[in-house]
């Protein structure tokens, strides 16, 4: 069953598989740092961690980026075969004292990706990534252009099975994709979410 965002109708067949891969590696990483042990809780704002010093992290992959994270991130890498080519994934995730997980997943495609219509590629990727996951529902999505002129799609997804929410941004840059995710059972802390998102920077344009 095809899912739809608030901004789209029907989409073409999936050509960009990065978000689906990102969600898979997210599950593995958050499980390794104990997210599954966090009990569901009423929707209430957590005390801000804005006064806590976050970690300035720079990746060492071939698609380097900088970002602020609430703790030293765990790293997981994997290679997937999809659509006749390979997707190299590198995921970095850290959690704050409230148990909220912040993650950046970097994906590099071995085959050229058609970026003639980046907005449609972003929408199609997100919708198809969740189409086989009936517990996930896209609540909202919107396009944005970053200061470095890369196109991005902001999204909010809810999981009806465990009452968690996943909020983030997908960024296209060259033949690579950066998926920023924040996942929580509680209400998001806007100050910390903004600090995470606004700190993200691509160090150099991937080839």
36-94 pLDDT tens trace: 333 333 334 444 455 468 999 999 877 789 999 999 999 999 998 877 788 888 999 99
State the average pLDDT over residues 105-110.
86
| Helix 118-131 vs helix 18-32: crossing angle, to nearest 10 | 50
The pair phi, psi for residue 34, each rounded to 5°, is 90, 15
**Of 169, 173, 49, nearest in space to 103 by CA:** 169
**Is 46 within 8 Å of 1 (Cβ atoms)?**
no
**Is 68 within 8 Å of 56 (Cβ atoms)?**
yes
Query: In sequence order, which residues have a C-beta less than 8 Å from that of residue 31 and are 6 or more positions away?
Result: none
Every domain of the chain and the residues it spans:
18-36+53-202
Res 200: pLDDT = 96
Res 41: pLDDT = 33
Res 25: pLDDT = 47
The one-character DSSP state at 179 is E
Cα distance between residue 115 and residue 26, in whole Å: 25
Cα distance between residue 94 and residue 114, in whole Å: 32
The CATH superfamily holding the domain 18-36+53-202 is: Mog1/PsbP, alpha/beta/alpha sandwich (3.40.1000.10)
**Of 115, 42, 25, 134, nearest in space to 78 by CA:** 25
This prediction has a pTM of 0.74
Cα distance between residue 18 and residue 82, in whole Å: 10
Res 23: pLDDT = 52
State the average pLDDT over residues 111-123.
84
**Is 180 within 8 Å of 104 (Cβ atoms)?**
yes
The pair phi, psi for residue 82, each rounded to 5°, is -155, 135
Going by their DSSP bridges, the two strands 176-184 and 164-173 should be labelled as antiparallel
């Amino acid at each position: 069953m095809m899912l739809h965002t608030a901004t789209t109708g029907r989409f073409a067949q999936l050509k960009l598989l990065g978000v689906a891969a990102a969600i898979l590696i997210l599950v593995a990483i958050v499980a390794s740092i104990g997210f599954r042990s966090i009990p569901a809780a009423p929707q209430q704002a957590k005390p801000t961690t804005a006064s806590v010093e976050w970690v300035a992290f720079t990746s060492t992959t071939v698609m380097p980026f900088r970002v602020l994270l609430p703790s030293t991130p765990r790293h997981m890498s994997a290679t997937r075969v999809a659509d006749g080519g390979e997707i190299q994934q590198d995921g970095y995730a850290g959690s704050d004292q409230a148990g909220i997980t912040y993650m950046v997943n970097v994906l590099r495609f071995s085959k050229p990706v058609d970026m003639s219509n980046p907005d449609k590629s972003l929408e199609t990727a997100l919708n198809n990534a969740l189409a086989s996951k009936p517990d996930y529902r896209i609540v909202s999505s919107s396009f944005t252009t970053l200061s470095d002129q890369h196109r991005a799609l902001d999204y909010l997804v809810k999981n009806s099975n465990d009452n968690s929410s996943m909020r983030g941004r997908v960024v296209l840059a060259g033949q690579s994709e950066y998926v920023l995710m924040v996942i929580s059972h509680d209400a998001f802390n806007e100050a910390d979410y903004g600090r995470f998102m606004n700190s993200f920077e691509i160090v150099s344009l991937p080839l």
